[in-house]
Structure 1
Amino acid sequence: MNANTGALKGLRVIDASRVLGGPFCGQILGDHGAEVLKIEIETGDDTRQWGPPYMGHNSAYFSGANRNKRSRVLDLSSSDGRQAFFELLSDTDILVENFKESTLKKWGLHTGSFTQSNPKLIHCRVSGFGSDGPYGGLPAYDTAIQAQCGLMSVNGDNASGPMRVGLPIVDMTTGLNATIGILLALHDRELTGKGQIVETTLFASAISLLHPHSSNYFSTGKSPIPTGNAHPNIYPYDSFRTATGMIYLAIGNDTQFVQFCRHLELDSLSADPLYATNPARSTNREQLRTILQTALQDTDGNQLTSELIRLGVPCAPIKNVQEVLEDPHTLHQNLIVKLDPGYTGIASPISLSRTPASYRLAPPRLPSESGEPDDVR
């Protein structure tokens, strides 16, 4: 096993969550040193069955959010299972869970039950909508929340209609928000000696992602429409065809536009009042797009983006997943983690000079599958 070098070394975490938001939070804590025990029912986390493909005994989906954890099976619907659970909580620093309100009530518990039994416990609750309000206690999944919270409405274009973001962005953002909340509560506990309940919801996390569309709405009173790959406020901030494939220009200021035009020998374009400033370019984007597409269509996109970015003009070739995971910079930054037996995943994006993340445990098998005793402390 690799050495534990993480900043959270010594903290004990119970991850009683399932699917993605909570488990992703638990993996972040584990990567940065916490000892994480995943509590599962007999059939395991739902995502163990979200395959194919599989990575060893686990689905690839489960493996992507459950590294650096051990697993224990408990029947929390039984009094014996709940008693064992509360015994584990007695010396636990952090609990991450996403139990439904109705499930807690069925067990004779409420959201404050866990901190009452352990006043120093930081209890992180991940849910779809929170416990109260018009949608309180209702179930939620990422894509349904994308639909309900406006993310789909600004994704896609007129031809496609509303589209989901092509990854579980709400679940993963909720996991990040849960982690941030836990770290805030840990700091407060250092000052006060007291734990507290941290709650984050898919609904709130999704709405927090609406920038700049929410700000634009507050400013104009007009509901945003999908703009495809184009940015609603900046231009050229869009995708273009080249002879070697699609590229993306992310030109965020007038100086970058001047550099871009100079490199393509389009100096008259940057001097034209119709395009000299971002407000002008954004207003006249349709004409500008036609001009730029004509100029770019016969170029070598890979060579052009390499030249432009070195001139300080943000841009990139549009790559697929295989290309980015095999990119020399990805490998140089050590962003791929390999663990025995047969596990490969994405490393933590957070770099700490003295207490870096460490990768010690591949995602766990269910104890009942492995034939080994439950992992206990």
Structure 2
Amino acid sequence: MQDDNSAAGEAGQAGQAGPRRGALSRFTIIDASRVRAGPTAMRLFADMGARVIKLEIPPGAPGGDDMIGGRDHNRADYENLHRNKESLTLNMKTAAGREILHELVKRADVFIENFRPDVKDRLGIGPDALRAVNPRLVYASISGFGQDGPCARWPGFDSIAQGMGGLMSVTGKPGEGPMRVGIPLADLCAGHFCAMGILTALLEREASGEGQWVQTSLLEAQVAMLDFQAAQWLVDGNVPEQTGNEHPLTVPTGVFATSDGYLNIAAIGQTMWRRLCEALGVPQLVAEPGMGSDPERVKNRERVNAAVEAALRQRTTAEWTERLLAAGVPCGPIHRVDQVFADPQVRHLGIAWPMMHPELGDISLVGQPMRLSRYQREAPPRPAPRQGEHTDGILTELGYSAERIAELRAGFIV
């Protein structure tokens, strides 16, 4: 578990998870996070070869895991979130459990948690306490609303952050009320931002020799993802409104019906507008009053869209996709999830990561959307661990005898 290239492989063998390979294989991470944001961050590290030791409540101990992505009520989600990780059962509420945690922290590079801000200090596992054990430790925290402030102790859930962070106010059709995005965007983005923060802190540690506390929250992540919508308010003083499937600043950009389905079109600026009209066979629209620029077309959104859709309904989605792309107009079909993974380009990219699961058989998981030229991802991924699957191996690695491990199990410490 040391921060060098040689120890990581030995540690993996001792923990019974096999030798580590990959761009981040020299790092060991203690993962005390639950639900989705923290596990999302750790999935990236595990997929890139880091040793991720997932801490879970021991069977029979009070306060067992009841989480989204749990192994019992959503097996697909659990496998996708927790592949390539190890599982150690550990009751951190006990002195003996914290003693084991300290031994792990001495050998680790990163500790991540997503407890409510006051919980970690109450348990004695806050950043000051653990960095006193290992000053090189990067301590990462994901909260719902930040580590302090008037809402710091609120329970953090993705939908709440989507609402408070402004996303629901700009999602959906005008007049139909706020709309939640169909994925847990605040959770996912908080996890990815946290991973970026951890990587930044690990890079900085190479210069300073010291770890530090990395923090993010669902609320901050969601506000950051507002991007140009937030800038409309911060810079120009304009409050963005809902525009449904259409772009708020350019027309025609959005979803249009064809003769057999729907098509996404992004005709931004005059050049694209002219190409679109010519490809649709309605070049006269270019010169019509109110259609001469993006701002004009935004003001006449309904009239512009109606004229474009009237032309699009004459052909199929496939026909228009081929025709518009040939004319240099950005467009594409709108897939269901099954169609996504049947798409030739998605198949070519190989983002569906096949594996043979000992219980589920041949399945695929969602791979990482990045490539490194000198790193070939581990194939296939290792299945998500059974609860406590690596407990004995990890404790043996730390120097615990079989008799002591049995005592710890009997006391619901592990």
Same fold (TM over 0.5): yes
Separation of aligned partners in 1, 2:130 and 2:313: 61
State the alpha-carbon separation in 1 of the partners of residues 201 and 239 from structure 2: 36
CA distance in 2 between partners of 1:136 and 1:222 (Å): 29
1:82 aligns with 2:102: no
Question: Among residues 254, 262, 269, which one is paired with 2:270 in the alignment?
Answer: 254
Q: How does 1:308-347 map to 2 (within 5 A)?
A: 308-341=324-357, 342=361, 343-347=363-367
1:9 and 1:306 map into 2 onto residues whose CA distance is: 44
| SS of the residue 1:46 aligns to | coil
Contact 1:28 1:179 (C-alpha < 8 Å) held by counterparts = yes
Which residue of the partner structure matches residue 308 of structure 2?
A: 292
Aligned AA for 1:350?
Answer: M
1:356 corresponding residue in structure 2: 376
Supply the distance in 1 between the matched residues of 2:37 and 2:94 (Cα, whole angstroms).
26
Instruction: Give the Cα–Cα distance (whole angstroms) in 2 for the partners of residues 162 and 137 of structure 1.
Output: 25
Does 2:83 align with 1:47?
no
Q: Report the alpha carbon displacement of residue 102 of structure 1 after superposing the two structures with TM.
A: 2.9
2:33 to 17, 20, 24: 17
Counterpart code for 2:183:
L
CA distance in 2, matches of 1:344, 1:187: 33
Please state whether the residue corresponding to 2:226 is helix, strand or coil.
coil
- Give me the whole-angstrom Cα distance separating, in 2, the residues matched to 1:252 and 1:38: 46
Unmatched segments (≥5 aa) in structure 1: none
Structure with more helix by fraction: 2
Counterpart position of 2:131 = 115
What residue in structure 2 maps to residue 27 of structure 1?
43
Pick the structure with greater CA Rg.
2
Is 1:223 the counterpart of 2:202? The answer is no
Query: What is the letter of the counterpart of residue 98 of structure 1?
Result: N
Alignment correspondent of 1:68: 84
Mapped partners of 2:347, 2:293: distance in 1: 38
Amino acid at match of 2:180: R
The amino acid across from 2:317 in the alignment is G
Q: 1:277: Cα distance to partner?
A: 2.1
Report how far residue 330 of structure 1 moved.
1.2
CA distance in 2, matches of 1:50, 1:154: 34
1:149 to 157, 160, 165: 165
339-348 or 176-185, which deviates more: 339-348
- Which residue of 2 is the match for residue 365 of structure 1? 386
> Could you tell me whether the CA contact under 8 Å between 1:125 and 1:199 is conserved in 2?
yes
What is the CA-CA distance between 1:324 and the residue it aligns to? 0.2
CA–CA separation in structure 1 for the residues paired with 2:169 and 2:123: 39
- Cα distance in 2 for residues equivalent to 1:5 and 1:373: 21
After superposing the two structures, state which structure 1 stretch, 200-209 or 290-299, moved more. 290-299
Change (3 A) 1:131 1:28: same
Q: Deviations over 1:125-168 (max 9, x none)?
A: 11111221111232210011111111111111135311100000
Q: CA separation of 1:131/1:274 partners in 2, compared to 1, >3 Å: closer, same or farther?
A: same
Structure 2 residue identity aligned to 1:121: L
Match 2:282 to one of 261, 266, 269 = 266
- What does residue 208 of structure 1 align with? 224
1:20-62 superposed Cα distances (whole Å, 9 cap, x missing partner)? 111010000111111111111133461354765x5xxxx2222
* Other-structure match for 2:8: none
Q: Which runs of 5+ in 2 are unaligned?
A: 1-16, 59-63, 398-414
Matches of 1:10 and 1:166, distance apart in 2:
36
Check conservation: 1:154, 1:224, Cα contact below 8 A: yes
One-letter code aligned to 2:384: P
Write the deviation string for residues 93-124 of structure 1: whole angstroms up to 9, x where unpaired: 11121122332233234332222211111111
Paired letter, 1:366? Q
- Distance change in 2, residues 1:375/1:239 (3 Å): farther
TM-score (norm 1): 0.92
Question: Which residue of structure 1 aligns with residue 409 of structure 2?
Answer: none
Scaled by the length of structure 2, what TM-score is found? 0.84
**Cα distance in 1 for residues equivalent to 2:248 and 2:170:** 10
- Is residue 12–residue 35 contact of structure 1 (8 Å, CA) maintained in 2? yes
Q: 1:39 and 1:45 mapped to 2: Cα distance?
A: 14
Question: Are residues 1:126 and 2:142 paired?
Answer: yes
Task: Give the distance between the partners of 2:30 and 2:372, measured in 1 at CA.
Answer: 24
1:100 aligned to 2:116? yes
Identity %: 33
Alpha-carbon distance in structure 1 between the residues aligned to 2:90 and 2:344: 44
Q: Name the SS of the counterpart of 1:112 in structure 2.
A: helix
- Residues 3 and 86 (structure 1), Cα distance of their counterparts in 2 relative to 1, 3 Å cut: closer
- Partner secondary structure for residue 198 of structure 2: helix
2:281 partner SS: coil
Give me the CA root mean square deviation. 2.1
Deviations 1:319-342 (A, max 9, x none): 110100121211111111122213
State how far apart, in whole Å, the 1-side matches of 2:260 and 2:313 are.
9
Amino acid at match of 2:217: T
Is the 1:24–1:65 Cα contact (8 Å) retained in structure 2?
Answer: yes
Measure, in 1, the Cα distance between the counterparts of 2:255 and 2:72. Answer: 33
CA distance in 2, matches of 1:124, 1:152: 28
Q: Distance in 1 between matches of 2:126 and 2:70?
A: 29
Relative to structure 1, the CA distance from residue 316 to residue 198 in structure 2 (aligned partners, 3 Å threshold; closer, same or farther) is same
Asked if 1:38 corresponds to 2:54, the answer is yes
